Structure 1
Amino acid sequence: MKMLTRLALNNNKKNKARSILIMLVIFLSTTLLSSIALICYGSLKYQKDNVKELYGTFYGAYKGVSEEQIAEMRKRSEFTEIGKSAVCGEVESEATVSLQWMSEEVGMMTNLKEQLEEGSFPKAQNEIAGERRFFQKLGYENVKIGDEIKLSYRRSNQEKYQETTFVVSGIIRSISEELENQAYVGYVSEDFYTTHFSENARRYMAYFSLSEDLGLNSETAEIEAKELAEKCGIDAENVAMNKTYLFFVLSPDMESIMGFILIAIVVVIFSVLVIYNIFQVGIVEKIQEYGKIKALGATRGQMKALVFREGMMLSVIPTPLGILAGIGISCLFMNYWISNMAPFGAETKISAAYISVPLLLLCVLAVLATVWIALKKPMSTVKKVSPVEAFRYQGEGKRKKGICKGYAVMSPNRMMMANLAMNKKRTVGTMFTMGLSCVLFVVAVNYTRNVDIEYAARQDLPFGQFQIDLSYSTTDTAYPENNLDSVLKENPLDAQLVKDLKSIEGVTEVKIGKQLYAHDEKGELHSIAVLDRKLFEKESKGAGVLGTVDYEKASKDNAIFNGWSHFIADTGYEIGDTVSFQLGGMQGEIPYQGELQGAFGSINGDWAITEDTYKNLGFADAEENIGTIWVDCKKSESKNVEAAIKELLENKDHYELSSFEGEVESLDSMMAIMKIMGYSFLLLIGMITFMNMANTMILNVITRKRELGVLQAVGMTNQQLNKMLRNEGLLFTLGSIVISLVVGIPAGYGLFLYGKKAGLTGFDVYHFPGVEILVMIFVLAVLQIGLSFMLSRNVKKESLIDRIRY
């Protein structure tokens, strides 16, 4: 046994190139497996450890619930906790500000009580609590406990604002980063709510937790909640589940965990093929040595054990190093992730126990199993071959009898094709394993290409650096001047504003979008978005589109579209119905009848028509009915341009200003983590791909030193040798690229469709990763040509006699 171990060790030392390449592949595979496993484990454990602080402890909530329905809930033993919350009304402010009451149970279940920085939650009718940003939006920069504040408040948009005085009872710690145009909430007492709302008018958000005796998991909890809602007389569609809490407390969703498991399986399969290919490519050289050992008396079992030990010895050093590298990568990721998670929740418990020893041992076993599977075919080959066959072995088994077609004149390309044809299995195997690594690259790059922060931001701000929208209501009976019909007639976004915006230094382009209002047969007010061809086609490619959404047909038929497909049933119309409206703008109103041809997933309007339909109906004046203005400028000028825009808007009402930079910042934290994971995976896959290609070319030259020496002895020049090796490498690269494109592009598109269906941010319209694929092809070609050049130089350093005797 010691002799076999020494032989295996010496063989590995003798074949340094092969040994180093295998060790590198094992190291990278171990790094991938261990980092993926620890990131999965660490993220799940972190969330589970801090789930209450981050997401509260409630299972879900029922919206629009009455006191009688809550009484029915309290009768059922399935509910272990029930809390009430209610929206009390809105506050007059440039920002979206509202007042809310919540019971003590809701404060505990949502973890809001833990966020109280100082003071207490309101108890008296005139007390109020909120984040500092809430008070700042009302004009109170440095508010303190006990300070009096005044605000204008109303219960609904059927009432006028009334000035109300409050005493600050508590200040809540900000638990999220401030986003552009976000909403703000102030918390008032139960006395305030019951005083301002009659018993019949009170409607609550009922938070609840369910009994553990029900044996629910994260998938069945929502089904149970809907069934209980119906039993309590509550509309089942009005349930909102705390899905993230349920995911970590009840049981992790297998679909999410399977994603990690699937990646791990792909890594194992990929590693098996690469390690197998490294062993198999060099089998022509090694099999003759094994034949000599067998001729000296080694048994079949000993030959099998020899190859097995060679492979396993090569795992001794890279496996622990890969585990350490995996630990390092996972720790870096977890530290980054936790630091970015902190703004989204309460103070969380950051633990160092995100390294699972059993999981790492499982990774080690997986790597060793990977090496063992990769060695099975070489072990079987060595075990079966006889000493006589070993000296004749060429790696292709039995050769078919037939006529060998020759050429009167040989060239480097013909020599290349002859060599590849003689070793078909090796050629195909090499192309397949290299192609697989490129497939993984193409699939991964489809993910990273479509997770685009700027693209996601463009869903809300489709053009330029700034967007000015009309701010309006459609149901404000107390202040009808705030409704869209009045706002459009007031014309705050007029032609003079557009002209002034164009004159701002640094502005490169200003575009406008039109908007109309509509009164239906019941007299209700609706907003009508006017979409030009480019915006129409963009929205038609989004999620949730229904019916026939074609710009030419819509313009020809003067058709109309619903703006929110999810709520189309609430309108009373179906696709194909005739819609009757009184459309209006600055010019007055005109009767309209048109076919409802489709619905968009979500747009900035209740309904939509094309720009051509807008003109066909007589709304042709370019200076009227402006609903949106987009302003573009150089990124370096954005700060100065923003200040100038705000100055122009100072004396105007009914507008909302958004910036592209603000949209990007609001998405950046979440998307950055996803992109880091994607690009890290790409980097490791790319390294393994290069190792595989380098191994193929190095062993291809090493095992053919004698052949190349003979060819040069009979007249092949150094230039012809360079050309032959270069073309061989290019052919391998071309085959790999073809495989990667044929398999990788459909697989990558499938991943995109899954991401779009799952609602992943940035997955809306498919972007083919053409640039990334061209870069991959270019890099592979450059690396291959560089390797060919270095190997050719290395071969030529040895004399012809040494090569022929090799």
Structure 2
Amino acid sequence: MNYPFENDTERIEKRIAEKSVFSEKNRTFLIRVIILIAAFLLSFSGILLCNATLSTQQIAHVNNTTEAVGTVLGIVIVLLCTAGLAVKNILYVSVLQRVHEFAQLRAIGATYQQIKSVVKKERDKIAKPCIVLGTVIGFLVNIVLPLHFYWIPSIVCAVISGIFIWIITALAFQAPAKMAASTSPIEAQHTQATNYFRSVGAKRKLTPIRIGWMYCRANRKKAAYTFLSLIMSGILMFGVFSILNAINPERLASQPYQGNSDVFVLLNSTADEESTYDLMKSTPFTEEQKQKLYNISGVKDVYELYMLDGILTNSEGEKFELSIENAVNPETFKNEIVEGMQPSHELQNGAIPVAINRQSPYYQKLNMQLQVGDYLPYIIDTGYGQKDVALVVSGFVENSDTGLVIYTSGENMKSLSEMNCTLAWYICLDDNGKDVATEIIKEIFIDDDRVDVSVLADDVMALEDYFHNAKVIITVLVVLISLFSFINMLNTSITNAIARRHDYALLEATGMTKLQLRKVQQSESFIYLVGSFIGSCILGIPIGLLLCTQISKIPGLSYFEYHFPVLFVFLYLAAVVMVYHVVSVYQKKSLQQHSIIERIRTIG
């Protein structure tokens, strides 16, 4: 005799999985929405960070690859703990509701592996299209953003994002699949009756609140999933909104404006050394142009930035290509010196005094522990040849917002160079008439394609608009992710209301009023929501502070300043109250839909 599940059952397993996906529309829809949003978020954020990191390396010469990878891994962990838990909880409840179905399959000969295979085929049917769609949408959104887009790295990031989401989904399905496959065909056919009140002492009074607490503790695994999902979503929101609240667009925009300047004029060169040097040899930064600037009403100072390329050799004989620049504003640069003194224009024993930036990532690569007074061999490109010079360390600065390592005085730069090595002019303006002066400066250089003119006020406005739009997008994404948990909560409440109709009817038959039954249900929801809110605050607030503190230490990201997200806390509390109200309304209607007799006849 051949049992239905004795031979190759691939097609049967597939048909059962398809039927389950089609019949459980609510479960399927919730899981698909969660996976789609998770795939989009990881793809979008991963590609965005990849492009931002590559742009930072090429423009600011700051290598923050490690930090970017760490951020992406952090997002993966958060999604695992939010989206993964949400999917797992919904599936867990679904398996509890289908326990008789799995028991019947076991009774007619289905093996442990075959039932696991059915659940896995459900996973493939539900998850694969959503992962592909979410990843593609995240890729397309990055294309339309006003940032430089790197195609090959972005495609690689999209593929990796899809793989990570698949791993998260597979992990979420694993435990429910094992639970379904482990169903006993004999025990599951019996009435599922749980004595929730067996631990209550004879002298203790059963109140609606105590009964609600017992129901909450009855299935501790399901309660733990719901609590974890709600708390992790709260932590995610605290972390994200703390970061969004910490961004200071004005401070970010002012990073390239040295010497407290309002406008800077920069050579319009590429990262290619020859391109920069060619422009310097036919420099637009002439004394005549400089005098024009000083003749403009409102112009206070014009600071010059000089730059030359060179090669530094460390104590082990390794050579490193490092540029040398002057301190643009000696007065403000003096305040940046943390050890020693700022470099003077006078040679020390034939060596050029320099200040070293210890926070530059390129300094770390030198594998040198420099001290004040140390000498360094340096080969400098003067514009028309190379020249061996000696550098002496006169002091140290610690600026993580730039990759530059070596500073010296403007006089030293002029003496070393055989050309006009001016890279930029930084222009300081009076507050009165600043707009008029800015327009005149733009007019002076409007026909000169050798330079770019940047205005601090314009950059601040552009960044404020950009971050406003980014905050809206990220806020929507975070709210959608957080909905995973509230969907879990609603799903748990709905299934509890259905599963406990029989219990509620018995309690009502023994004298408990509908108002008391509603208190039982409300107390359970109150424990979940208020408990998770308190847990989210206890864990989320310090995590938000820690995140902002650590991010501000990343090269180029010192513009992050932590501010307590007061508005978010109130909005989060309002959301908790709203969800509590929605759940209470549903539970009230559920009690009124069936009579006591109908509910007593219900098999739990």
In structure 1, the residue corresponding to 2:109 is in which secondary structure? coil
Task: Using the TM superposition, give the Cα deviation of residue 430 of structure 1 relative to its aligned residue in structure 2, in angstroms.
Answer: 1.3
Residue number in structure 1 paired with 2:372: none
Amino acid of the structure 2 residue aligned with 1:35: F
1:427 pairs with one of 189, 204, 223? 223
Inter-partner Cα distance in structure 1 for 2:225 and 2:528: 10
Asked if residue 726 in structure 1 is aligned to residue 535 in structure 2, the reply is no
User: 5 Å matches for 1:299-310?
Assistant: 299-310=111-122
1:459–1:416 CA distance, 2 compared to 1 (3 A) = farther
Residue number in structure 2 paired with 1:372: 170
Structure 2 stretches of 5 or more lacking a match?
1-8, 263-299, 301-329, 345-396, 400-429, 438-454
Residue number in structure 2 paired with 1:739: 535
1:359–1:353 CA distance, 2 compared to 1 (3 A) = closer
Inter-partner Cα distance in structure 2 for 1:402 and 1:691: 31
Residue number in structure 1 paired with 2:126: 314
Q: Could you list the per-position Cα deviations for residues 729-765 of structure 1 after superposition, in whole angstroms to 9, with x for gaps in the alignment?
A: 2211122223322322222222111122225557464
Inter-partner Cα distance in structure 2 for 1:305 and 1:44: 42
1:18 pairs with one of 3, 14, 27? 27
Inter-partner Cα distance in structure 2 for 1:694 and 1:283: 17
2:338 pairs with one of 560, 566, 581? 566
Amino acid of the structure 2 residue aligned with 1:264: V
Task: Using the TM superposition, give the Cα deviation of residue 402 of structure 1 relative to its aligned residue in structure 2, in angstroms.
Answer: 8.3
Inter-partner Cα distance in structure 2 for 1:443 and 1:666: 25
Residue number in structure 1 paired with 2:92: 280
Scaled by the length of structure 1, the TM-score of the pair is 0.45
Inter-partner Cα distance in structure 2 for 1:325 and 1:289: 32
2:585 pairs with one of 774, 786, 789? 789
Q: Could you list the per-position Cα deviations for residues 7-64 of structure 1 after superposition, in whole angstroms to 9, with x for gaps in the alignment?
A: 333334443333322222222222223323443455567x59xx9xx74xxxxxxxxx
Indicate the structure whose relative CO is greater, using CA pairs within 8 Å and at least 6 residues apart.
Answer: 2
Residue number in structure 2 paired with 1:33: 42
Amino acid of the structure 2 residue aligned with 1:778: A
In structure 2, the residue corresponding to 1:566 is in which secondary structure? strand
1:643–1:724 CA distance, 2 compared to 1 (3 A) = farther
Which one has the bigger helix percentage? Answer: 2
Inter-partner Cα distance in structure 2 for 1:787 and 1:643: 60
CA contact (8 A) 2:39 2:161 kept: yes
2:66 pairs with one of 230, 254, 261? 254
Identity %: 21
Inter-partner Cα distance in structure 2 for 1:646 and 1:305: 73
CA contact (8 A) 2:216 2:223 kept: yes
Asked if residue 386 in structure 1 is aligned to residue 184 in structure 2, the reply is yes
CA contact (8 A) 1:327 1:355 kept: no
Asked if residue 446 in structure 1 is aligned to residue 242 in structure 2, the reply is yes
Task: Using the TM superposition, give the Cα deviation of residue 455 of structure 1 relative to its aligned residue in structure 2, in angstroms.
Answer: 7.7
User: 5 Å matches for 1:306-705?
Assistant: 306-315=118-127, 319-338=128-147, 356=155, 360-391=158-189, 404-406=200-202, 409-453=205-249, 563-566=335-338, 569-570=341-342, 664-665=460-461, 667-668=463-464, 671-672=467-468, 675=471, 678-705=474-501
1:35–1:646 CA distance, 2 compared to 1 (3 A) = closer
Structure 1 stretches of 5 or more lacking a match?
56-241, 342-349, 461-466, 469-491, 493-525, 529-543, 545-561, 573-598, 602-629, 632-641, 648-658
In structure 1, the residue corresponding to 2:145 is in which secondary structure? helix
Inter-partner Cα distance in structure 1 for 2:435 and 2:164: 60
In structure 2, the residue corresponding to 1:665 is in which secondary structure? helix
Inter-partner Cα distance in structure 1 for 2:154 and 2:126: 25
User: 5 Å matches for 1:215-230?
Assistant: none
CA contact (8 A) 1:752 1:763 kept: no
Residue number in structure 2 paired with 1:243: 61
CA contact (8 A) 2:43 2:138 kept: no
Residue number in structure 1 paired with 2:423: none
Which one has the bigger strand percentage? Answer: 1
Inter-partner Cα distance in structure 1 for 2:138 and 2:588: 37
Residue number in structure 2 paired with 1:776: 572
Q: Could you list the per-position Cα deviations for residues 331-358 of structure 1 after superposition, in whole angstroms to 9, with x for gaps in the alignment?
A: 33432323xx6xxxxxxxx7877862x6
Inter-partner Cα distance in structure 1 for 2:53 and 2:554: 20
1:744–1:799 CA distance, 2 compared to 1 (3 A) = same
1:527–1:763 CA distance, 2 compared to 1 (3 A) = closer
In structure 2, the residue corresponding to 1:773 is in which secondary structure? helix
1:293 pairs with one of 94, 105, 128? 105
Amino acid of the structure 1 residue aligned with 2:582: G
CA contact (8 A) 1:284 1:393 kept: no
Residue number in structure 1 paired with 2:387: none
1:456–1:41 CA distance, 2 compared to 1 (3 A) = closer
User: 5 Å matches for 1:89-108?
Assistant: none
Inter-partner Cα distance in structure 2 for 1:11 and 1:407: 47
Bigger Rg, structure 1 or 2: 1
Q: Could you list the per-position Cα deviations for residues 464-511 of structure 1 after superposition, in whole angstroms to 9, with x for gaps in the alignment?
A: xxx99xxxxxxxxxxxxxxxxxxxxxxx9xxxxxxxxxxxxxxxxxxx
1:353–1:300 CA distance, 2 compared to 1 (3 A) = closer
Amino acid of the structure 1 residue aligned with 2:112: R
1:19–1:802 CA distance, 2 compared to 1 (3 A) = farther
In structure 1, the residue corresponding to 2:563 is in which secondary structure? coil
CA contact (8 A) 2:245 2:563 kept: yes
Inter-partner Cα distance in structure 1 for 2:516 and 2:218: 20
Amino acid of the structure 1 residue aligned with 2:118: L
Amino acid of the structure 2 residue aligned with 1:243: H
Inter-partner Cα distance in structure 2 for 1:787 and 1:362: 38
Task: Using the TM superposition, give the Cα deviation of residue 437 of structure 1 relative to its aligned residue in structure 2, in angstroms.
Answer: 1.6
CA contact (8 A) 1:32 1:684 kept: no
Q: Could you list the per-position Cα deviations for residues 351-409 of structure 1 after superposition, in whole angstroms to 9, with x for gaps in the alignment?
A: 877862x655544443333232222222222333422333469799xx99985425665
CA contact (8 A) 1:281 1:700 kept: no
Q: State the Cα RMSD in Å.
A: 4.7
Amino acid of the structure 1 residue aligned with 2:28: S
1:717–1:456 CA distance, 2 compared to 1 (3 A) = farther
1:691–1:326 CA distance, 2 compared to 1 (3 A) = farther
Inter-partner Cα distance in structure 1 for 2:114 and 2:343: 79
CA contact (8 A) 1:694 1:787 kept: yes
Amino acid of the structure 1 residue aligned with 2:137: G
User: 5 Å matches for 1:70-219?
Assistant: none
Aligned residue pair count: 429
Inter-partner Cα distance in structure 1 for 2:72 and 2:338: 32
Scaled by the length of structure 2, the TM-score of the pair is 0.59
CA contact (8 A) 1:25 1:688 kept: yes
Inter-partner Cα distance in structure 1 for 2:49 and 2:33: 24
Task: Using the TM superposition, give the Cα deviation of residue 420 of structure 1 relative to its aligned residue in structure 2, in angstroms.
Answer: 1.3
